Amino acid sequence: MKTRNAVSLFSSAGIGELGVKANNIKIVASSELLADRHKLYQTNFPDTKCFLGDIWSRKEEIVEFAKQANGNDELFLVYATPPCQGMSSNGRGRLSHGVRTGNRSPIDERNRLIIPTMDIIKQLRPRWVLLENVPGMRNTVIEDNDGVDINIMDHIEQVLGEDYVGKGEVVCCSNYGVPQLRKRLITIYTRDAAGINYFRRNGNSFFSTEDRMPLITLKEAVGHLPPLEAKRGFEAAPEYSHLHRVPILKDEKYWWIANTPEGNTAYNNQCCNPRCMSQRNPLHTDVFEDNRWQSNKKTPLYCVDCGELLPRPSLIDKTTGERRLIKGFHSAYRRIVWDEPARALTKNYIYEASDNKIHPNQNRVLSMLEALIVQTVEKFDYSFEIDGKHISTKLFAEIIGESVPPTLIEMLCRKFIKLDENNKTKKSEIDNGEGQLALPI
């Protein structure tokens, strides 16, 4: 069988690479800045050479090693997932706030990591390039090495030049076998003859209707698991799986959540006084002030009819001694819906205050096992241990939240290979879209 090698950049703990590995593509080298991520990577990819540290300083080592590892063979794939914090909606929000207060410059240096990424790709000249990031990457501007401001996608196109054909496309993972409404920008470029022909036949897109799969609802994905509650004695099912466990909630938070209907937020909870049960209390809506959306601070905490405290997120202010609303948008303390795919998992999925993270009908957040299923990691063989010890829940959540569902990567790599194999039976001639044949790649 033909050996296909890959290089992974910004590898984190290697969750997305499970889809690469599933296609018998050997990852010869990986790079990562954070040591705990790369320790997990080494546990699960023991044959991969791991380069720990800043990619700016290690890029030449990565290139040299990859060339030696490939010998005279062509590198099949470079798979890269540059940090998205400076491009995501949350990251842009923090950046904007920092700029307004004078604590941040308007250019996030993390976004410039695409530059060493493209330097490596240019030197290794893989047959396929696969980049994964948040949709906001399309509108991100960086300063190149010449001090010129340029859109990231234009920079990629500029570096790859005429040798490659491809583009970036925003896709929702729920259309490709992932029970999660997670939108990602998937950027694919190729100099493979059959791959270039595919792009041209498919309207310059790598995704076709044939790739799509039926939606998988959260209930279909995890509805069969043993029930849990965020109360001591009910928070885990170790006889089923040591990963099917959730954090315990304080009694007051449990009260808020227990009164929250499916698909709604605890901020909208109505009166639960059995002598009143009023449903007339105003709802929690975000407000637009100072040119940005902000959480509503005026949402009432006491029933308009009986005056009883509503089961809405609140606390006692240490300064005034009075109860006040906890700051939060309409998506906070909100239950997921059973009959839809889950909302996108983030590193904060273990916190009930995070966006759309409360179980549809059980009073808790999703368990670690449910997160693995929703992210499709559960389908693959992966160990969350470092030196024989289970990693912390916090690190687990960070890794899951920052990863791409491996099922999506598996599907893409499978298409790369299928097109590559077509080259064995067809001449490397490319239809230039005008009925003529271009030179072989």
pLDDT in tens, 173-211: 999 999 999 999 999 999 999 999 999 999 999 999 999
Q: Which residues pair with 358 in a beta bridge?
A: 335, 365
| CA angle, 346 then 352 then 357, to 5° | 50
The alpha-carbon radius of gyration of the chain (Å, integer) is 24
| Confidence label for 333 from pLDDT (cuts 50, 70 and 90) | very high
Spatial contact of 11 and 82, defined as CB atoms under 8 Å apart: no
| pLDDT confidence tier of residue 421, bands split at 50, 70 and 90 | confident
Rounded-to-integer distance, Cα 299 and Cα 279, Å? 14
Residue whose structure tokens are 């990577």: 41
> What DSSP element (H or E) covers 159?
helix 152-160
Query: Given a cut of 80, is residue 86 above it in pLDDT?
Result: no
Picking from 39-48, 363-372, 414-423, which range would have the lowest pLDDT averaged per residue? Answer: 414-423
pLDDT score recorded for residue 88: 40
Question: Cα–Cα distance between 143 and 151 in angstroms, integer?
Answer: 9
Q: Counting Cβ atoms within 10 Å, is residue 371 exposed (0-12), middle (13-18) or buried (19+)?
A: buried
Residue 434 pLDDT > 70, yes or no?
Answer: no
Question: 255-295 pLDDT, tens per residue?
Answer: 999 999 999 999 999 999 999 999 999 999 988 888 888 88
Q: Quick one: pLDDT band at residue 24, thresholds 50, 70, 90? A: very high
Distance of CA 236 to the CA centre of its chain: 26
Distance of alpha carbon 139 from alpha carbon 153, whole angstroms = 8
CA dist., res. 11 & res. 34, Å (int): 10
- Looking at the DSSP bridge assignments, the partners of residue 51 are 31
Decide if pLDDT at 441 tops 90: no
pLDDT score, position 106 = 59
Q: How confident is the model at residue 440 (pLDDT cuts 50, 70, 90)?
A: very low
Q: How confident is the model at residue 107 (pLDDT cuts 50, 70, 90)?
A: low
Distance from C-alpha of 334 to C-alpha of 264, rounded to nearest angstrom: 5
Please report, rounded to a whole number, the percentage of residues in the chain having pLDDT higher than 90. Answer: 83
Q: Report the C-alpha gap between 137 and 146 in whole angstroms.
A: 21
- Residue 426: C-alpha distances to residues 170, 420, 434 (Å): 31, 10, 19
- Quickly count: other Cβ atoms within 10 Å of residue 140's Cβ: 20
Confidence bin at 426 (pLDDT 50/70/90):
low
Interhelix angle 35-44/393-401, rounded to 10 degrees, is: 80
* Domains of the chain from N-terminus onward: 4-215+402-438 (3.40.50.150), 226-366 (no CATH)
Residue 7 · residue 79 · CB < 8 Å: yes
Q: Look up residue 437 and give its DSSP letter.
A: E
